[in-house]
Structure 1
Amino acid sequence: MNYVAAENLTKSYGIKTLFKNISFNINEGDKIAIVAKNGSGKSTLLKILMGKEIADSGDVVINKDIQVVLFDQEIDFESDLTIEEFMMTLDSAPILALKKYHHALLSGDPDEMETALAEMEIHKAWDLENEMSQILSQLKITDLTAKMGMLSGGQIKRVALAKLLTETRAEHRHTLLIMDEPTNHLDVEMVEWLESYLNKAKITLLLVTHDRYFLDAVCGIIWEMEDQNLYFHNGSYATYLENKMIREDNMNSTIDKAQNLYRKELEWMRRQPKARTTKSKSRQDDFYETEKIAKTDTRKESLELDFEMKRLGNKILELKDISKSYGDKLLLKDFSYSFQRGEKVGIVGKNGAGKSTLLNIIQGFEPKDSGEIETGETIKFGYFSQKGLKYKEEERVIDFIKDISENFPLANGRTISASQFLRLFLFDDQTQYSPISKLSGGEKRRLHLMYILYQNPNFLIFDEPTNDLDLPTLTVLENFLLNFQGSLIIVSHDRYFMDRIVDHILAFEGEGKIKDFIGNFSEYRENKKLEDGNKKSEDVSKKQEVGVEKTEVSKKTEALPASNSALPTKKKLSFKEQRELETIEKEIPEFEAKRTTILEQLNNETDYEKIAKLSAELESLSEKLENHEMRWLELQE
């Protein structure tokens, strides 16, 4: 089934043409990723498909039997709405049926309830609320009474994602899901869950992402937007790179031939009299076409990485027993680490675990509660934060960089100009002389990165550098960092980026605990999964052993010889301890029965507030049960 057919689409902004005469089809079941550098028109193309932008020319035909749903980087919401109210603003039939059902529950009107129940059956809405709850839970959204206006940017993004996924499940018709950078602000567990969800869901997907592992896991088709054209690749990200290289090699061969012809034709053109014949006019037209090909510049300047960096001394950066808390929340506890010359360290952990706090403490932006920091005298930090770039509205890109220096120093006394350095990071001449205010969000992010690197630091600190950066820029950045001779700290959820750059992980695991792991990010993840699996097995074994011991311990005690001198003398329980043991033995089965009841209620419950209440009760009860079992063992021993 064909979902979308587009023919000869063209879109320009002023003198800048984003794409010209591109055509494509989207069919049912396609899962497509769009790859392009920022400013090439990815987001604009998505908005044209949504009807939010109009192409300058060309046609788009969308099948009337499908719905098109967009997950955008810009999210509209009313600040006063709670998360639950925001989720229920969907206007799909199953959601409307749910609303009527809840209203009927509150009103108690039997006629209204009868109508509501009928609509719930018609629109198959019974499972929707439970599925919505599961999606919210996976995205770590627990307090549904929180106001949208009080959430962080990352939380808003996750709530919007939950709403979109619910919408695609609520509609029982064909859906084209369009997603623009869905993995931004998601931690690794959430990204892996989303990969699994999109693979299982029977949807058609058009995706813009910089996460190459996510791209490979979800998509089988890649669209490449470059030089106003659209190229199609079937297969993985690696296949796309191979195809792109072959195409560029072929283009270079064509250009070489055109340049040879161009030189000959140029001589002929110069010899021609002003009044040309019809035959010479035809040859003249061919000449201009040949000239266009001959002057095509496909050269990809490679960064000369033998740059002159300020010398690093013997002492780089040493942290000794650093602790930091916010109220009752412990982020760092007696953390010590000595950074070495040329070391590339990745910092990972859940949102809010304290990663950014550590970066701020290192640079003196936040005070530590205790501990010492020793920084080498020659250290020059370069900090790429999640905060936006500060600039004057009409300031041009080239002037912004030149304010630091006209030239960037290389080894052996050589330099490259500010303009050359900008070109290395994919800013063409036209963009360099444009006002910064006219850049796309991704281009501003790229300029911010340039601003940091151009100051020639010898200790780089990157906090989520890959968010909103396009894949071509990420490739350039990775090549830069692989050859960077200074020290490097990266906080990132981008698994591919981390695997390629770092070989040492500091993992924030909560409660101030930081694990020091030698290896890349994927190796750390595999190690953690193995440890978690072993711990889970140990916990299950302990609980099984407790159950066996409770039933067998009295028999074993009676069977022991009274005068066995090889066994330690068992201390007799005090009257108080004996009463405590009797109480615990009575309460343990009661707790277990209550726990089973709560689990059954949770499996059947669909009300958000009740689910939250039952979950809290289950957590409290499980803790009591575990404490009772441990105390029972102590008293038995």
Structure 2
Amino acid sequence: MAQPPILTLQDIRLTFGGTTLLDGADMALGPQERLCLVGRNGSGKSTLLKIAAGIVEADSGRRFVQPGATIRYLVQEPDLSGFETVRAYVDDGLAPGDSSHSGQILLEALGLTGDEDPAHLSGGEARRAALARALAPEPDVLLLDEPTNHLDLPAIEWLEATLKARRGALVLISHDRRFLEQLSTATVWLDRGTTRRLDRGFGHFEDWRDEVLAAEEKERARLDQRIAQETEWLRYGVTARRKRNMGRLRALGALREERRNLRHHAGTAQMAVTEAGTSGKRVIAAEAISKAFEGRPIVQDLEIEINRGDRLGIVGPNGAGKTTLINLLTGALAPDSGTVRLGTQLEMATLDQRRAQLDPDETLWKTLTGGSGDTVMVGGQPRHVAGYLKDFLFLPEQARSPVSALSGGERGRLLLARAFARPSNFMVLDEPTNDLDLETLDLLAELVADYSGTVLLVSHDRDFLDRTVTSVLVAEGEGRWIEYAGGYTDMLAQRGSRPGAAKGDGDAKASGGGDRPKEKPKSSAGGKRKLSFREKHDLETLPKTIEGLEAEIARLQDKLADASLFTRDPAAFQKATAELEAKAAQRDQAEERWLELELLKEELEAARS
């Protein structure tokens, strides 16, 4: 028998400034359910999550939480002001009786010591601290709003594995498709103020959504046809019958009212790239280039040739030097040694991950037109700026609004609108997926994949990389970069392991732009490496964890040994099979981690002897 929901929202309604944001939204969360909340930017996902957390009060509706259940909420922009250290911020989120050890373990896993001054944290480090604060109490319900923002790939994959291992309930908002597919077991679609639920993970959502929209369009067409038929009858029917057919007139009015109330799905962005003439065959030739900041190598003896039509993805932890590498390859920054030669007839369009190209005081209109006229040249043809903005899902009234009034996703769309209007045969995209909703991401991926020019792309989005790039350049540490053919998944298969590990964010910038590695922590007395708090804890607890997983695997194997299970209960058979695969993967991962730590322990003991 299914357990009752631990958290329920019923008929939630909320209006902001006269605009209805939520119009009868519902959400029910089971005790161990992992639910993803999806919808367009601005649809109210974050607001609904805040209502679930008890932070925002709805105009009407019912919120119910099982008595005694604990809830933790991860905000998009964490505020650490008022705390002397990161550890104090994490400990402040613990309930009476909770151990601070779990918070310290999480901080170390996320590349923080806990002694950092919150005033000096980068965006990524603040997000890591907020994650540790939310996860440390092991709440019954975890509400995460864009948890992967500002995180690099190693940290995203660590978080993914950590959330998979949790037994509590989870509601997740994210634009990272792979992250949603890996974690969710159910999907709630927030669309035009109301919600629909699919009792399957995000991997099945888009086909289901398309079916729903197709059914709506079919119903809309049916109503249009009936309205046309009734209008025709009224217009040309026998005059003498009119008094006897007022009921039919009222029915027509009801049909028209039903048609007006039939909701329209928000449009899809109509993005298109304006391509310039063909560039030369060779776009970039880098020969033995090196770059270091304060003695730390960012790029060491890199040789790479990028030809017309190549789409190169650049991957590495935050602080590895991805932006610096882009600046070197495009000639914006001079190498310390080696040479970079750019090809001929290059027309470059760039997208800056920090949105620094946008003046917050300028209007959207001026940003696109440069302040002259009311048209934008797109593909050699003039377009009215309001119409062009509509292609990127901006409302007409937003055209005269300042850039500062836009959300992060809207700023991203505005940058894309400006970049795509300019003729180019060489696109440099530094984190273009930040804050974009899933439908806009889909369109952007198609544009990049179909672009006939050359692309340099920095991204932490695994699915986006797989769909767009022809090769991946990976940071291997100490300034070494290695290129692999294919997308991100192809790179993993060739490399045999994931690059990097969850590390600090290292957002310090050198002159000329770009990121550089963080200062390495000072070694302990005598310069000898010691096991960290997390490593010691894992060594002590992993054997028991492995033993428990082995017992679970044996139980599931016994269950599946029943030859009649599949015919008697196919759903139970599929569930047990999936659980067996998951437990086996967790056991293998735990055994590999334990073996690594045992070898490390032996090496450290041998070094001290």
TM-score range, shorter chain: 0.7 to 0.9
Q: Do the aligned partners of 2:316 and 2:322 also contact (CA within 8 Å) in 1?
A: yes
Q: 1:379 to 1:598 in 2, by over 3 A?
A: closer
Q: Which residue is 1:74 aligned to?
A: 77
Indicate yes or no: 2:137 matched with 1:167.
yes
Aligned partners of 1:262, 1:294: CA distance in 2, in Å?
Answer: 14
Which residue in the other structure is 1:236 paired with? 201
C-alpha separation in 1, matches of 2:105 and 2:303:
39
Residue 358 (structure 1) aligned with residue 329 (structure 2): no
* Conservation of the 8 A alpha-carbon contact between 1:258 and 1:293: no
Deviation at residue 490 of structure 1 after TM alignment: 1.1
Q: Is 1:85–2:53 an aligned residue pair?
A: no
- How does 1:237-276 map onto structure 2 within 5 Å? 237-267=202-232
Per-residue deviation at 1:506? Answer: 0.8
Partner of 2:394: 427
Question: Does structure 2 retain, via aligned residues, the 8 Å contact 1:385–1:463?
Answer: yes
Q: Secondary structure at the match of 1:198?
A: helix
- Cα deviation code 1:422-455 (max 9, x no counterpart): 4443335565565544432322222223222222
* Equivalent position of 2:250 in the other structure: 282
The structure-2 alpha-carbon separation of the partners of 1:64 and 1:602, relative to structure 1 and needing over 3 Å to count, comes to closer
* Shift in CA distance, 407/267, structure 1 to aligned 2, threshold 3 Å: farther
Q: Distance in 2 between matches of 1:136 and 1:228?
A: 38
| TM-fit CA distance, 1:498 | 0.7
Q: TM-score of the superposition, structure 1-length normalised?
A: 0.72
Find out whether 1:138 has 2:142 as its counterpart. Answer: no
- Alignment CA distance shift 1:74-1:321 (3 Å): same
Tell me which protein shows more helix as a share of its residues. 1
Q: Cα gap change, 1:467/1:78 in structure 2, threshold over 3 Å: closer, same or farther?
A: same
Match of 1:151 among 93, 96, 121: 121
Q: Residue 119 of structure 1 corresponds to which residue in structure 2?
A: none
Instruction: Report the AA paired with residue 139 of structure 1.
Output: L
Cα gap change, 1:151/1:210 in structure 2, threshold over 3 Å: closer, same or farther? same
- Matched-pair contact (CA < 8 Å) for 2:227–2:252: no
| Native 8 Å contact 1:10 1:20 kept in 2 | yes
Change (3 A) 1:531 1:502: closer
Q: Residue 191 of structure 1 corresponds to which residue in structure 2?
A: 156
Matches within 5 A, 1:468-617: 468-529=435-496, 602-603=536-537
- Secondary structure of 1:167's partner? coil
CA radius of gyration, larger in: 1
Report whether the alignment pairs 1:367 with 2:334. Answer: yes
Report Cα offsets for 1:508-542 as digits up to 9, x if no partner: 1011111121121112123323699xxxxxxxxxx
After TM superposition, give the deviation of residue 71 of structure 1 in Å: 0.6
Contact 2:268-2:439 within 8 A present in 1 as well = no
Contact kept in structure 2, 1:39 and 1:439, CA below 8 Å: no
Task: Give the one of 22, 35, 40 matched to 1:37.
Answer: 40
Q: Secondary structure at the match of 2:303?
A: strand
The Cα shift of 1:208 comes to 0.4
User: What are the superposed Cα offsets for residues 68-122 of structure 1, whole Å, 9 maximum, x if unpaired?
Assistant: 2111111111266122222222341124xxxxxxxxxxxxxxxxxxxxxxxxxxx
Is the deviation greater in 42-51 or in 284-293?
Answer: 284-293
- Counterparts of 1:485 and 1:234, CA distance in 2: 40
Q: Is the 8 A contact 2:220 2:259 kept in 1?
A: no
Seen in structure 2, the aligned counterparts of structure 1 residues 197 and 299 have a Cα distance that, compared at 3 Å, is: closer
The 1-side partners of 2:392 and 2:235 are apart by: 39
Distance 1:389 1:17, change over 3 A: farther
Q: 5+ residue gaps in structure 2?
A: 500-525, 541-598
Deviation string 1:23-50 (CA, Å, 9 cap, x unpaired) is 2322211211111121111111111222
Cα 1:312–1:51 change in 2 (3 A) is: same
The amino acid that maps onto 1:222 is T
- Decide whether the 8 Å contact of 2:286 with 2:341 is kept in 1: yes
Aligned partners of 1:255 and 1:296 also within 8 Å: no
Deviation at 1:421, TM superposition (A): 4.1
Report the CA distance shift for 1:31/1:303 in structure 2 as closer, same or farther (over 3 A): same
Q: Displacement, 1:500?
A: 0.9
Structure 1 range deviating more: 442-451 or 492-501: 442-451
1:60 aligns with 2:63: yes
Aligned to 1:227: 192
2:5 counterpart residue number: 2
Q: Which residue identity lines up with residue 103 of structure 2 in the other structure?
A: M
Which letter does structure 2 place at the counterpart of 1:285? G
Mapped partners of 1:297, 1:203: distance in 2: 34
CA offset digits 1:529-557 (Å, max 9, x no partner): 3699xxxxxxxxxxxxxxxxxxxxxxxxx
State whether residues 265 and 287 of structure 1, in contact with CA within 8 Å, keep that contact through their aligned partners in structure 2. Answer: no
CA contact (8 A) 1:401 1:418 kept: yes
Q: 1:323 aligns with which of 290, 308, 313?
A: 290
CA deviation after TM superposition for structure 1 residue 177, in Å? 0.6
Unaligned runs of 5+ in 1: 96-124, 533-590, 607-617, 629-637
Cα deviation per residue 1:155-182 (whole Å; 9 max; x = unaligned)?
A: 11111111211122xx6xxx21100111
48-57 vs 317-326, greater mean Cα deviation? 48-57
> Sequence identity, in percent?
27
SS of the equivalent of 2:175 reads coil
The partner residue of 1:451 within 418, 429, 440 is 418
Determine if contact 2:279/2:425 at 8 Å carries over to the other structure: yes
Q: Deviations over 1:600-637 (max 9, x none)?
A: 9945999xxxxxxxxxxx99995895799xxxxxxxxx
- Conserved? CA contact 1:261–1:290, under 8 Å: no
- Classify 1:620/1:294 alpha carbon distance in 2 versus 1 (closer, same or farther; 3 Å): closer
Letter in 2 for 1:493: H
Distance 1:61 1:285, change over 3 A: farther
SS in 2 for 1:76: coil
In the TM superposition, residue 381 of structure 1 has moved relative to its aligned partner by 2.2
CA distance 1:624–1:52, shift in 2 (3 Å): closer
SS in 2 for 1:66: coil
User: Which of 21, 28, 36 is residue 31 of structure 2 equivalent to?
Assistant: 28
Q: Deviations over 1:458-488 (max 9, x none)?
A: 2111222222221111111111111111111
Partner in structure 1 of residue 574 of structure 2: none
Q: For residue 477 of structure 2, what is the amino acid of its counterpart?
A: G
Residue type of the partner of 1:211? D
Looking at structure 2, the residues matched to 393 and 240 of structure 1 have their Cα atoms a distance apart, in angstroms, of: 36
1:248 touches 1:298 (CA, 8 Å); kept in 2?
no
Q: Once the two structures are superposed, what CA deviation does each residue of 1:326-378 show, in whole Å capped at 9, x if it has no partner? A: 11211111212221111111111122111111112234443321222222342
14 and 510 in structure 1: CA distance in 2 versus 1, 3 angstrom threshold: same
2:108 and 2:534 in contact (8 A); partners too:
no
Q: Please state whether the residue corresponding to 1:2 is helix, strand or coil.
A: coil
Listed one character per residue, the Cα deviations across residues 256-312 of structure 1 (whole Å, up to 9, x for unaligned) are 22222232334456679999986366235314225427895777576566x542431
Residues 231 and 252, structure 2, Cα contact 8 Å, conserved in 1: no
| Paired residue secondary structure (1:505) | strand
Contact 2:275 2:425 survives alignment (8 Å) = no
